[in-house]
Structure 1
Amino acid sequence: MHTLALCLLATLTPIVPSSVDTAVHEYLEATGLPGAAVAVTHGKQVVRIAGYGRTATGEPVTEHTALPVASVSKSITAYAVMRLVREGRVNLDGPVRASLPEFEMADPRAASITVRQLLNQTSGLSDRTFAAFSGPQPRTLQERVAQLRTAGLAADPGAEFEYHNPNYQVAARLVEVVSGRPFDSYLRDNVFGPLGMPDSRTVDTAADLPGTVGHITIAGLPVAVPEPPAFGNGSGGVLSSAHDMAAWLIAQTEPGMEEMHTPAKGSYALGWSVGRTESGARIIKHSGDLFTATAYQALLPDSGYGIAVMTNTGVTAGDAVALAGRLIALLENRSVPLPNVFLPRAVDLGLLLAAAGTVALTVRGVRRRSRWIYLLSLPLVLLPSIHWVVGWLYRGRDVAWIQVAYLYPAFMIWLVVASLCGIAGLLLRMTTGSSRNLRKRRPTRSPQHTS
């Protein structure tokens, strides 16, 4: 073992159930996070599995409450593919088309995409050439693969890393075709069942989630809302519990898992990424973000610990990553301050006040026939194109318009209110102007004199 690893082990503080509970309760109290599920393992032993707080529908979160794990699903899809690889039914470094003949794209380079390149996100598929979120949403994995027939590649296969959900949707469809079974059925009998994960399953779309599963946060207040429409099977469709995620973390310690945890180049392996903690320890991880829920999993091979967290707030809050970070810091005997919730809450309150102020100013401007009312046409220009602006800020990621409302709800409230005020102000201004012009043009009748 390396000297660095030995030094790190010497500073570790063993995690006990009570310390996990304390860290989670402190976080929930400080942030207002409604609910979380946590699993902590050490080697093949379960240290703590528990639920905290409440679901979006008001029930207590328990160790068996199934919550979305979002893109943590990618490591599970990769595991399913690797099972077929170990059985000799799929060639990891062979072309995807050899196992999935229906995989066709408009770009001839797609013929050389390998299964490994799907799993390590170097296939050349990209948000820049295929709108996975803002385009038409499929209902099945087969439909998703069919949609790719008109898409191109952004790079040669194997040349560049680019995170793109359809890579894993194609991989999940490959599992269906090779196994001859629906993806959910295959996972249930060949992954979840053997690993002891009875609470877990996968779904195709956001509409298949069990009602309202999570929240957005406005000015620090969690608001239960349904997940916006999207297709996610293979890339983000798994629901799991603290109990099941503990079994999943323990499964990662089995012989033969090294290939899934080792990148060919860069930091992304097969459904996992690698890095270092703030103390310098090796970490193998993957996060998952929905717009109403987040998840995070981490393996710490130097100490043998595994950590999984699911929370029922969306990507903007980032609670799963933050809470898992506190648990890792607890293990490494580091002090991590609780998140500063004042600034985001103040920004949201400011935007809500701005929305109310915009209404008041519009009413005043219309009454006084102020010319500045025309400035309210500017939000009208931004409103329909806001998802393109956000996509550009997210370095070219594809974003649907409705998703922006989940990412920045207070800002979108102001933008919609300002746009409606702009429409109302312009219409009233035009109506008032027309009425005034009509009165000016109306001829004045001369008084009639009688003798």
Structure 2
Amino acid sequence: MRAVGPSPPPHTLSPRRRGALGALAACAVTALTVLTGLCPAAVADETGATAAELDRFAERYVERTGLPGATVAVTKGQEVVLTAGYGHAGDGEALTARSPMRIASLSKSFTALAVMQLVEAGEVELNRPVRRYLPGFRIDDPRGARITVRQLLDQSSGMSDRTFPDASRPEQPDSLKEAVAQLRTAGLAAEPGTDWNYHNPNYHVAARLVEVVSGQSFGTYLRRKVFAPAGMDDTVAAEAAGTPAPDSLADGHIRAYGMNIPMPEPDHFSAGSGGIVSTAEDMAKWLILQQSGGRAANRERVVSAGSVAEMHTPSANEGRYALGWMRRVPDGADRARQPQIWHGGSLSTYSAYQFLVPDTGYGVAVLYNSGITLTEEDLWGLADGLLALTEGRTPPQGGSSLWKIDAVFGALTAATAALGIRGLLRSGTWATRRRRRPMWRAAVRLLPYSFPPALLAVFQPGVDFLMGGRDATWLQRFYAVPAELSFLGIAALTCLAVVAARIAALVRAARRSAHATSAQREAADPSHST
């Protein structure tokens, strides 16, 4: 159920009545402020978009794009402007501002904050080697000894998916300790500090560092030192294998052929890098903490303002990535937009974005119960539209092209299957017409059928290359592009089946031709008969 504070319509009143209503309004605002502090809800903002406008846009956007569901948090400074849920969960229940959602790689900003707390306590220095605090951190490259704590957090350690493909490893670790131990076989793609590579194990190591230095499990540390002080009572973090799955967390969705299909998240290790489950209400508190210089909505100091500024300041040599956050400075056609501190996250069945706009004081978090797809516009458009409204810009109307793309691939899949069946049924006729021709000509005719199987064979390495070397399993790839991969898979299998059937038919035709020729010879020369 959405909590929305509607904007009152303007009225023409006498001065006396305006004064009386003004006093009444002042009392109402005071009461609303107190209630907001006790139970964050949606309020109207005086200088930007109202809660009702934001709510109306989000509701219509989810409907128009066909997204299964999303939850939203919008804050300004220390105020909650809107927390709401739209659509439905995988179990059919309506999403609300308190529905648990996987926040994927937004988890990295929490890990970075935990490390910064240890920095403030004098127990860790960002520019010291990781091995100083975590002796068990070893990789298969002597340069690994020079990797610093900062280089883990700003993804410039030199480790990458190309040298250590963690997602597709057949044996996923059961703990942060094991995750770090598995890195002994990892290499470096670059000298530490010289190149930027988005690599989840950087944050596995950072989370393990928190465990070792604090003497607490990572999940316990976050619960005691981050979630509780911030008032995030419904937020939990992974401590062991896989992603946490509270009883109230429903399956997310994959999107295929215009449908939203509930599916379980593929099992993968994500502690420290993507294992947090939160709610829109809790994410509003997180945004307030970030916009308030490290103070929670209840005014408790969680981290210093200097540490918050450090986390928001890019330090990687590519100029954008900070410590668990990224900086985006619009240019060109986007110049009307304000600079943003942000981070995104994508799993197979959930996605998330968080934005801070320092110039306006707004914060926006959007959590989706659908994962990465061939096009990201549907997910990006909702967050961008909310930001546009807070800046006085016209938001996108919404409307997905994904179903159209899937419809094309669905039609191609059906046509391919039909042609394949036809080819199988007519393989005998095809072979009969070619039994007296040279075999190389038949081979040439069959050569085009090798293209779909070849494309399927190079699909994984090809996608890895297009995504900058990012690693994923076949199942994760399928969840992202089910219609497209189904077409390619069926096309490859159909082509292989048709080729096999035609070759078998050619062999049978050749044998029949040989037997017929032998019979003719015997009939022409009785001396060869027995």
Q: Once structures 1 and 2 are overlaid, which stretch shifts more, 135-144 or 307-316?
A: 135-144
Match of 2:287 in 1: 249
SS at match of 1:168: helix
SS at match of 2:487: helix
SS at match of 1:298: strand
Q: Which of 415, 425, 436 is the equivalent residue of 1:357?
A: 415
Matched, 1:267 2:340: no
Q: CA RMSD in A?
A: 2.1
Matched, 1:284 2:337: no
User: Which residue type is aligned with residue 124 of structure 1?
Assistant: G
Kept in 2: contact 1:212–1:227 (CA 8 A): no
Give CA-to-partner distance per residue, 1:337-396, whole Å, 9 cap, x none: 324524x32221111111111121122223333455553332222223311011111122
Match of 2:406 in 1: 348
TM-score with structure 2 setting the length: 0.78
Q: Once structures 1 and 2 are overlaid, which stretch shifts more, 287-296 or 319-328?
A: 319-328
Q: Which of 386, 397, 415 is the equivalent residue of 2:459?
A: 386
Kept in 1: contact 2:136–2:181 (CA 8 A): yes
Whole-angstrom distance in 1 between the partners of 2:98 and 2:396: 30
Q: Once structures 1 and 2 are overlaid, which stretch shifts more, 420-429 or 288-297?
A: 420-429
User: Which residue type is aligned with residue 250 of structure 1?
Assistant: I
User: Which residue type is aligned with residue 410 of structure 1?
Assistant: A
Whole-angstrom distance in 1 between the partners of 2:241 and 2:103: 14
- Shift, 1:113, TM fit: 0.8
Q: Which of 369, 392, 397 is the equivalent residue of 1:338?
A: 397
User: Which residue type is aligned with residue 322 of structure 1?
Assistant: G
Match of 1:225 in 2: 263
Whole-angstrom distance in 1 between the partners of 2:47 and 2:387: 10
Whole-angstrom distance in 1 between the partners of 2:251 and 2:224: 25
Q: Once structures 1 and 2 are overlaid, which stretch shifts more, 351-360 or 397-406?
A: 397-406
Kept in 1: contact 2:235–2:276 (CA 8 A): yes
SS at match of 1:334: coil
Q: Which of 232, 251, 262 is the equivalent residue of 1:213?
A: 251
Match of 2:505 in 1: 432
Match of 1:15 in 2: 49
Kept in 1: contact 2:71–2:97 (CA 8 A): yes
Match of 1:117 in 2: 151
Whole-angstrom distance in 2 between the partners of 1:180 and 1:322: 42
Kept in 2: contact 1:315–1:407 (CA 8 A): yes
User: Structure 1 vs Structure 2: percent identity of aligned residues?
Assistant: 46
User: Which residue type is aligned with residue 323 of structure 2?
Assistant: L
Matched, 1:94 2:151: no
User: Of the two, which has the highest radius of gyration?
Assistant: 2
SS at match of 2:387: helix
User: Which residue type is aligned with residue 226 of structure 2?
Assistant: V
Unaligned stretches of 5+ residues in structure 2: 1-45, 294-304, 431-441
Match of 1:6 in 2: none
Unaligned stretches of 5+ residues in structure 1: 1-11
User: Which residue type is aligned with residue 121 of structure 2?
Assistant: E
Whole-angstrom distance in 1 between the partners of 2:337 and 2:91: 40
Match of 2:18 in 1: none
Whole-angstrom distance in 1 between the partners of 2:487 and 2:337: 43
Kept in 2: contact 1:390–1:399 (CA 8 A): no
Q: Which of 159, 172, 176 is the equivalent residue of 2:194?
A: 159
Matched, 1:305 2:362: yes
TM-score with structure 1 setting the length: 0.91
